[in-house]
Protein backbone atom coordinates (compact mmCIF):
# COMPACT_ATOMS: atom_id res chain seq x y z
CA UNK A 1 0.00 0.00 0.00
CA UNK A 2 1.45 3.35 -1.10
CA UNK A 3 0.32 6.95 -1.47
CA UNK A 4 1.16 9.10 -4.49
CA UNK A 5 1.87 12.34 -2.65
CA UNK A 6 1.90 14.54 -5.76
CA UNK A 7 -0.07 14.01 -8.98
CA UNK A 8 -1.83 16.18 -11.56
CA UNK A 9 -4.72 13.96 -12.60
CA UNK A 10 -6.70 17.00 -13.73
CA UNK A 11 -4.27 17.32 -16.65
CA UNK A 12 -5.73 17.03 -20.16
CA UNK A 13 -3.28 14.16 -20.63
CA UNK A 14 -5.73 12.02 -18.63
CA UNK A 15 -8.95 13.18 -20.28
CA UNK A 16 -9.21 10.08 -22.48
CA UNK A 17 -8.72 7.42 -19.79
CA UNK A 18 -8.72 8.96 -16.29
CA UNK A 19 -11.05 6.33 -14.80
CA UNK A 20 -8.89 3.48 -16.11
CA UNK A 21 -5.72 5.13 -14.83
CA UNK A 22 -7.30 5.36 -11.39
CA UNK A 23 -8.51 1.77 -11.53
CA UNK A 24 -5.00 0.57 -12.40
CA UNK A 25 -3.54 2.53 -9.50
CA UNK A 26 -5.99 0.99 -7.03
CA UNK A 27 -5.06 -2.48 -8.27
CA UNK A 28 -1.40 -1.61 -7.77
CA UNK A 29 -2.06 -0.70 -4.13
CA UNK A 30 -2.14 3.12 -4.36
CA UNK A 31 -4.51 3.85 -1.47
CA UNK A 32 -4.56 7.65 -1.79
CA UNK A 33 -3.48 10.37 -4.20
CA UNK A 34 -2.74 14.02 -3.44
CA UNK A 35 -3.83 15.85 -6.57
CA UNK A 36 -1.97 19.13 -6.79
CA UNK A 37 -3.04 22.47 -8.26
CA UNK A 38 -0.58 24.99 -9.72
CA UNK A 39 -2.92 27.88 -10.59
CA UNK A 40 -6.57 28.64 -9.89
CA UNK A 41 -8.20 26.61 -12.71
CA UNK A 42 -6.04 23.54 -11.98
CA UNK A 43 -6.71 23.88 -8.25
CA UNK A 44 -10.46 24.03 -8.88
CA UNK A 45 -10.19 20.99 -11.16
CA UNK A 46 -8.15 19.18 -8.51
CA UNK A 47 -10.89 19.82 -5.96
CA UNK A 48 -13.56 18.57 -8.35
CA UNK A 49 -11.74 15.26 -8.71
CA UNK A 50 -11.28 15.04 -4.96
CA UNK A 51 -15.01 15.47 -4.55
CA UNK A 52 -15.66 12.61 -6.98
CA UNK A 53 -13.25 10.08 -5.47
CA UNK A 54 -13.02 9.28 -1.79
CA UNK A 55 -9.28 8.47 -1.89
CA UNK A 56 -8.24 11.60 -3.79
CA UNK A 57 -7.30 14.81 -1.97
CA UNK A 58 -6.58 18.22 -3.47
CA UNK A 59 -4.24 21.13 -2.94
CA UNK A 60 -4.62 24.71 -4.13
CA UNK A 61 -1.89 27.20 -4.87
CA UNK A 62 -0.29 29.44 -7.47
CA UNK A 63 3.05 28.50 -9.01
CA UNK A 64 5.79 31.10 -9.52
CA UNK A 65 5.19 31.08 -13.30
CA UNK A 66 2.05 33.13 -12.74
CA UNK A 67 3.52 35.62 -10.28
CA UNK A 68 3.44 38.53 -12.73
CA UNK A 69 -0.27 38.17 -13.48
CA UNK A 70 -1.62 37.22 -10.05
CA UNK A 71 -4.08 39.76 -8.65
CA UNK A 72 -5.54 40.45 -5.22
CA UNK A 73 -8.77 38.95 -6.51
CA UNK A 74 -6.94 35.71 -7.40
CA UNK A 75 -5.61 35.50 -3.85
CA UNK A 76 -9.14 35.88 -2.52
CA UNK A 77 -10.30 33.05 -4.77
CA UNK A 78 -7.39 30.96 -3.53
CA UNK A 79 -8.40 31.60 0.06
CA UNK A 80 -11.94 30.40 -0.69
CA UNK A 81 -10.63 27.23 -2.30
CA UNK A 82 -8.34 26.51 0.63
CA UNK A 83 -11.31 26.51 2.97
CA UNK A 84 -12.99 23.60 1.15
CA UNK A 85 -13.06 20.14 2.74
CA UNK A 86 -10.57 17.80 1.04
CA UNK A 87 -8.18 20.64 0.21
CA UNK A 88 -5.31 19.46 2.40
CA UNK A 89 -2.44 21.82 1.54
CA UNK A 90 -1.35 25.06 -0.05
CA UNK A 91 0.70 24.39 -3.15
CA UNK A 92 2.45 24.00 -5.29
CA UNK A 93 4.22 27.27 -4.59
CA UNK A 94 7.84 28.35 -4.75
CA UNK A 95 10.50 29.63 -7.11
CA UNK A 96 11.40 28.60 -10.63
CA UNK A 97 14.59 30.16 -11.99
CA UNK A 98 14.85 27.48 -14.68
CA UNK A 99 11.81 28.60 -16.63
CA UNK A 100 11.94 32.19 -15.30
CA UNK A 101 8.44 32.90 -16.60
CA UNK A 102 7.91 35.72 -14.11
CA UNK A 103 10.48 38.20 -12.80
CA UNK A 104 12.29 36.75 -9.78
CA UNK A 105 11.33 39.52 -7.32
CA UNK A 106 7.66 38.88 -8.15
CA UNK A 107 8.11 35.12 -7.73
CA UNK A 108 9.60 35.73 -4.31
CA UNK A 109 6.81 38.07 -3.30
CA UNK A 110 4.07 35.62 -4.32
CA UNK A 111 5.94 32.84 -2.50
CA UNK A 112 6.06 34.89 0.71
CA UNK A 113 2.41 35.91 0.46
CA UNK A 114 1.31 32.28 0.13
CA UNK A 115 3.57 31.10 2.97
CA UNK A 116 1.93 33.71 5.21
CA UNK A 117 -1.48 32.49 4.06
CA UNK A 118 -0.47 28.94 5.01
CA UNK A 119 0.41 30.19 8.51
CA UNK A 120 -2.90 31.96 8.79
CA UNK A 121 -4.92 28.93 7.63
CA UNK A 122 -2.68 26.41 9.42
CA UNK A 123 -2.09 24.41 6.25
CA UNK A 124 0.99 22.46 5.14
CA UNK A 125 2.78 23.67 2.00
CA UNK A 126 3.98 21.89 -1.16
CA UNK A 127 7.16 23.51 -2.49
CA UNK A 128 8.22 23.67 -6.12
CA UNK A 129 11.81 24.86 -6.52
CA UNK A 130 13.94 24.74 -9.64
CA UNK A 131 17.45 26.15 -9.83
CA UNK A 132 16.60 28.41 -6.91
CA UNK A 133 18.03 26.54 -3.93
CA UNK A 134 19.61 29.49 -2.14
CA UNK A 135 16.59 31.78 -2.32
CA UNK A 136 14.19 28.93 -1.51
CA UNK A 137 16.07 28.06 1.68
CA UNK A 138 16.43 31.72 2.66
CA UNK A 139 12.73 32.48 2.22
CA UNK A 140 11.65 29.28 3.97
CA UNK A 141 13.94 30.12 6.91
CA UNK A 142 12.33 33.56 7.11
CA UNK A 143 8.70 32.62 6.50
CA UNK A 144 8.14 28.94 7.27
CA UNK A 145 8.99 28.68 10.97
CA UNK A 146 6.46 26.29 12.45
CA UNK A 147 4.93 25.37 9.09
CA UNK A 148 4.76 21.78 7.87
CA UNK A 149 5.83 21.20 4.28
CA UNK A 150 7.39 19.07 1.60
CA UNK A 151 10.03 19.71 -1.06
CA UNK A 152 8.18 18.16 -4.00
CA UNK A 153 10.10 16.21 -6.69
CA UNK A 154 13.28 17.01 -4.83
CA UNK A 155 16.24 17.70 -7.06
CA UNK A 156 19.63 18.63 -5.71
CA UNK A 157 22.42 17.18 -3.64
CA UNK A 158 22.60 15.93 -0.06
CA UNK A 159 23.80 19.32 1.26
CA UNK A 160 20.62 20.97 -0.04
CA UNK A 161 18.48 18.12 1.27
CA UNK A 162 20.03 18.62 4.72
CA UNK A 163 19.08 22.30 4.65
CA UNK A 164 15.48 21.41 3.80
CA UNK A 165 15.39 18.79 6.56
CA UNK A 166 16.82 21.37 8.95
CA UNK A 167 13.88 23.66 8.16
CA UNK A 168 11.70 20.74 9.26
CA UNK A 169 10.34 19.81 5.85
CA UNK A 170 9.86 16.43 4.23
CA UNK A 171 11.75 15.39 1.09
CA UNK A 172 9.63 13.87 -1.68
CA UNK A 173 11.34 11.77 -4.34
CA UNK A 174 9.86 11.21 -7.79
CA UNK A 175 10.77 9.27 -10.96
CA UNK A 176 14.24 10.79 -11.44
CA UNK A 177 15.60 8.78 -8.47
CA UNK A 178 15.19 5.69 -10.70
CA UNK A 179 17.46 7.10 -13.43
CA UNK A 180 20.78 5.23 -13.57
CA UNK A 181 22.89 8.40 -13.71
CA UNK A 182 21.08 10.33 -10.93
CA UNK A 183 23.90 9.80 -8.44
CA UNK A 184 23.09 12.85 -6.31
CA UNK A 185 19.51 11.70 -5.90
CA UNK A 186 20.67 8.19 -5.08
CA UNK A 187 22.72 9.60 -2.22
CA UNK A 188 19.72 11.60 -1.00
CA UNK A 189 17.54 8.47 -1.19
CA UNK A 190 20.06 6.58 0.97
CA UNK A 191 20.51 9.29 3.58
CA UNK A 192 17.12 10.95 4.17
CA UNK A 193 15.74 9.69 7.48
CA UNK A 194 12.91 7.31 6.69
CA UNK A 195 10.51 9.34 8.82
CA UNK A 196 11.12 12.42 6.60
CA UNK A 197 10.64 10.79 3.20
CA UNK A 198 7.69 10.97 0.79
CA UNK A 199 7.23 9.46 -2.67
CA UNK A 200 5.33 10.82 -5.65
CA UNK A 201 4.88 10.61 -9.40
CA UNK A 202 4.26 14.27 -10.36
CA UNK A 203 2.31 12.59 -13.17
CA UNK A 204 1.86 13.15 -16.10
CA UNK A 205 5.50 14.27 -15.80
CA UNK A 206 8.71 12.57 -14.59
CA UNK A 207 7.99 8.97 -15.54
CA UNK A 208 10.43 6.61 -13.82
CA UNK A 209 12.83 4.28 -15.58
CA UNK A 210 12.12 2.39 -17.90
CA UNK A 211 9.20 4.61 -18.90
CA UNK A 212 11.19 7.85 -19.04
CA UNK A 213 9.71 10.35 -21.50
CA UNK A 214 6.29 8.71 -21.55
CA UNK A 215 3.16 9.81 -19.73
CA UNK A 216 3.44 9.02 -16.05
CA UNK A 217 0.61 7.76 -13.82
CA UNK A 218 0.07 7.05 -10.10
CA UNK A 219 0.67 3.28 -10.48
CA UNK A 220 4.34 4.01 -11.10
CA UNK A 221 4.89 5.45 -7.64
CA UNK A 222 5.61 1.81 -6.78
CA UNK A 223 8.72 1.95 -9.00
CA UNK A 224 9.97 4.93 -7.00
CA UNK A 225 9.43 3.03 -3.74
CA UNK A 226 11.20 -0.03 -5.14
CA UNK A 227 14.28 1.92 -6.27
CA UNK A 228 14.59 3.70 -2.92
CA UNK A 229 14.34 0.35 -1.13
CA UNK A 230 17.12 -1.08 -3.34
CA UNK A 231 19.32 1.94 -2.71
CA UNK A 232 18.83 1.66 1.05
CA UNK A 233 19.06 -2.13 1.11
CA UNK A 234 15.70 -2.54 2.83
CA UNK A 235 12.39 -4.14 1.89
CA UNK A 236 10.09 -2.23 -0.45
CA UNK A 237 7.34 -2.79 2.08
CA UNK A 238 9.32 -0.83 4.64
CA UNK A 239 9.59 2.20 2.32
CA UNK A 240 5.88 1.92 1.50
CA UNK A 241 4.84 1.83 5.15
CA UNK A 242 7.05 4.74 6.20
CA UNK A 243 6.13 7.03 3.31
CA UNK A 244 2.43 6.25 3.73
CA UNK A 245 2.56 7.13 7.41
CA UNK A 246 4.54 10.32 6.66
CA UNK A 247 2.09 11.46 3.96
CA UNK A 248 -0.88 10.83 6.22
CA UNK A 249 0.75 12.85 8.98
CA UNK A 250 1.86 15.75 6.76
CA UNK A 251 -1.52 16.24 5.10
CA UNK A 252 -3.60 15.08 8.07
CA UNK A 253 -5.50 12.49 6.02
CA UNK A 254 -7.61 11.50 8.98
CA UNK A 255 -10.62 10.85 6.71
CA UNK A 256 -8.73 8.15 4.82
CA UNK A 257 -10.43 4.90 5.79
CA UNK A 258 -7.69 2.43 4.77
Using the minimum distance from each CB to Ni ion, give the nearer residue, 39 or 202. 202
202 binds Ni ion (CB under 5 A): yes
* Binding piece for Ni ion, criterion CB under 5 A, among 81-89, 160-168, 175-183, 202-210: 202-210
Subset of residues 20 to 79 that bind Ni ion, contact rule: CB under 5 A = none
| # of chain residues touching Ni ion (CB under 5 A) | 1
Q: Distance of alpha carbon 202 from its chain centroid, rounded? A: 7
4 binds Ni ion (CB under 5 A): no
Using the minimum distance from each CB to Ni ion, give the nearer residue, 205 or 236. 205
Looking at beta carbons, which residue is closest to Ni ion?
A: 202
Cα distances (Å, whole numbers) of residue 190 to 81, 86, 128, 202, 239: 37, 33, 22, 21, 11
Which residues have CB under 8 Å from 179's CB, separation 6+? 185, 208, 209, 212
Cα distances (Å, whole numbers) of residue 249 to 103, 109, 150, 238, 256: 35, 29, 12, 17, 11
- Start-to-end Cα distance in the chain: 9
Using the minimum distance from each CB to Ni ion, give the nearer residue, 9 or 189. 9
Site string for Ni ion, 148-187 (x = CB under 5 A): ----------------------------------------
Using the minimum distance from each CB to Ni ion, give the nearer residue, 6 or 227. 6
**Which residue ranges make up the site for Ni ion (CB under 5 A)?**
202
Amino acid sequence: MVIDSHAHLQSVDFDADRAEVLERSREAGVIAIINVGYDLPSSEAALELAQSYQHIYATAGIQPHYAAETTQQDLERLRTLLAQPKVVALGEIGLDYYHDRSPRPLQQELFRIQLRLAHELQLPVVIHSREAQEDTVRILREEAQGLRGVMHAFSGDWAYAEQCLDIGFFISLAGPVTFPKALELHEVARRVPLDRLLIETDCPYLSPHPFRGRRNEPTRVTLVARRIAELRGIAEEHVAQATTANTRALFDLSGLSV
